[in-house]
Structure 1
Amino acid sequence: MTQPALRLAALAFALSCAVPAVQAHNAWLLPSTTVLSKGDTITVDAAVSNDLFVANHAPLRIEGLQIVAPDGSPIKPENEARLKHRSVFDVPVSQPGTYRIAVLNNGVFASWKDKATGQTKRARGTPETIGKEIPADATEVSVTQSAGRIETFVTVGKPSALKPIGQGLELIATGSPTDLVKGEKSTFTLRIDGQPAKDLEVTVTAGNTQYRDKLNELKLKTDDKGQFSVTWPAAGMYWLDASTRDNKTTVPQAKERRLSYAATLEVSP
């Protein structure tokens, strides 16, 4: 994908951010650091941008923000703010171990033909509200469920194991997602509802895309166990994303479920 194409994709996504987003493409969380020797407070930027990790387009909505401490307890963000080009918040990280910081975008999307005008209408909402949006006499009704996860990880001291979520599309690292090193190979597993995500395309893109004529992203694919490996070509911040769809909906009206995942990972020299 060229930079102009990335910008167009980012624009389309940003427009959808007025409500919970369908996909995580070009949307990211960027922590001020991913590894600390002792407890402190980190700052996280959240945005949808023209260039990876450069807040130059639109803020990411963070209503679905979830921060989980190493012991599994939830943590409340501090100093939340929505700026013109980015959202920002602080996270106190006092416990030793690995923290998961994620924004969840779950919703339902519907389209139908209006009986009176013949025009196509669209609405977004929750499983509880979407039925109220669709008129009783609507035709050609299509309902789609979406489940997206955008996340990053921070470790204080020694890394700790992350508890699998078991819902939607998720990433599981063989080692620690905060212990990645230039020139070394890292192995990950993608799962859907706790089961291996087989034959799924994964894209890994280094930051600083504004300084490159080409994205030079790595295109990978999961095996029968949902596993894939990355040999990191350089140090820096990377954006990993994947998406798929299936018919395993939990919303009665929906015939399709769209799943997306994105993570920001830091690679050390």
Structure 2
Amino acid sequence: MKKAFALLALTAALAAPMAAQAHRAWIAPSSTVLSGNDAWVGFDAGMSNVVYQADHAAMRLGGLDITAPDGSKLEAQNATQARYRSIFDIELKQEGTYRVANVVEGFMGFYEQGGERKRFRGSEAEFAAAVPADATNVSSARTFTRTETFVTLGNPNDTALAPTNKGLELIPVTHPNDAAEGESSTFKLLLDGQPAANVDVTIARGGLRYRSNPEEITTKTGADGSFTVTWAASGLHWIGASVRSEGANGQPGTNASYNGTIEVLP
């Protein structure tokens, strides 16, 4: 680790109240790099126009998925939902890197009947039976949202960073807790386990409330799904991306989004 750890809407709506559809989802940790044999980290989770500024809606935590350094799953502690943000803690007892994610999967269908547009919500298996025989313009999509961050206690490791091959995922090439101001980090985006090529990726630095420059950039993934970011300043940075595709031959389309938080240290 360098310098001793110095250093993105349809699916988003499923992770928060419907009023937050146009807002960015984020999980903000109180710390990302810790030492010792036992530590606690607190997390805020919300939806807002300005990332990490809790002023719009809390994130629902029904899909909270916390992976420990050995690959086992942890339960959040002290979880609660306030008006503008949800909060929870985790206790770090294992040395290594933790992946803290809120993952929401869903399925949506649409059809027209008698000139009226109708929407279906339920499981993919139920959709075919739910569509009337006289329905026209039938379409559907699998939806997937991953919102996450990473924390490390002591020496880092990569076990929790392994892909699940579901939805849109960020796979670190550079360790996510090794981001430093003035240096570069490389990541890959996968969609259902395959490289997500030619995808727009937005990187936004937190703290906009206290400055006039948004410090937001957009890049694009390569053929292997990779992209590189040079960190111009320290602070929490939001990484957002989404992939949408139309279904074909009776198969559902895809609406997948990713929202990640990386802390860049001085």
With the length of structure 2 as denominator, give the TM-score of the two structures: 0.86
One-letter amino acid matched to 1:108: F
- 1:29–1:97 Cα change, 3 Å: same
2:13–2:21 contact (8 Å) kept in structure 1: no
SS in structure 1 of the partner of residue 209 of structure 2? helix
2:12–2:21 contact (8 Å) kept in structure 1: no
Which ranges of structure 2 fall in alignment gaps of 5 or more residues?
1-7
One-letter amino acid matched to 1:236: G
- Does residue 106 of the first structure (1) align with residue 80 of the second (2)? no
One-letter amino acid matched to 1:62: L
Residue number in structure 1 paired with 2:230: 231
SS in structure 1 of the partner of residue 124 of structure 2? coil
Aligned counterparts of 1:256 and 1:87: Cα–Cα separation in 2: 31
Residue number in structure 2 paired with 1:203: 202
Residue number in structure 2 paired with 1:88: 87
Aligned counterparts of 2:222 and 2:190: Cα–Cα separation in 1: 11
SS in structure 1 of the partner of residue 182 of structure 2? coil
Aligned counterparts of 1:129 and 1:50: Cα–Cα separation in 2: 35
- Does residue 31 of the first structure (1) align with residue 5 of the second (2)? no
Aligned counterparts of 2:71 and 2:22: Cα–Cα separation in 1: 24
One-letter amino acid matched to 1:235: S
1:24–1:261 contact (8 Å) kept in structure 2: no
One-letter amino acid matched to 1:219: T
Work out the percentage of aligned pairs sharing the same amino acid: 42
SS in structure 2 of the partner of residue 165 of structure 1? coil
| C-alpha RMSD of matched pairs (Å) | 2.8
Q: Which string of whole-angstrom CA distances, capped at 9 and with x for unpartnered residues, describes residues 181-233 of structure 1?
A: 00011111112222222222111000112334453311111112221111100
Residue number in structure 2 paired with 1:170: 169
Aligned counterparts of 2:81 and 2:14: Cα–Cα separation in 1: 16
1:23–1:148 contact (8 Å) kept in structure 2: no
Residue number in structure 1 paired with 2:254: 257
Aligned counterparts of 1:200 and 1:99: Cα–Cα separation in 2: 26
One-letter amino acid matched to 1:32: S
- 1:136–1:45 Cα change, 3 Å: farther
Q: Aligned pair count?
A: 256
- Does residue 191 of the first structure (1) align with residue 190 of the second (2)? yes
Residue number in structure 1 paired with 2:123: 126
Residue number in structure 1 paired with 2:219: 220
- Does residue 159 of the first structure (1) align with residue 143 of the second (2)? no
Residue number in structure 1 paired with 2:61: 62
With the length of structure 1 as denominator, give the TM-score of the two structures: 0.85
Post-superposition shift, 1:131?
Answer: 4.7
2:108–2:140 contact (8 Å) kept in structure 1: yes
Aligned counterparts of 1:72 and 1:14: Cα–Cα separation in 2: 26
Aligned counterparts of 1:257 and 1:28: Cα–Cα separation in 2: 21
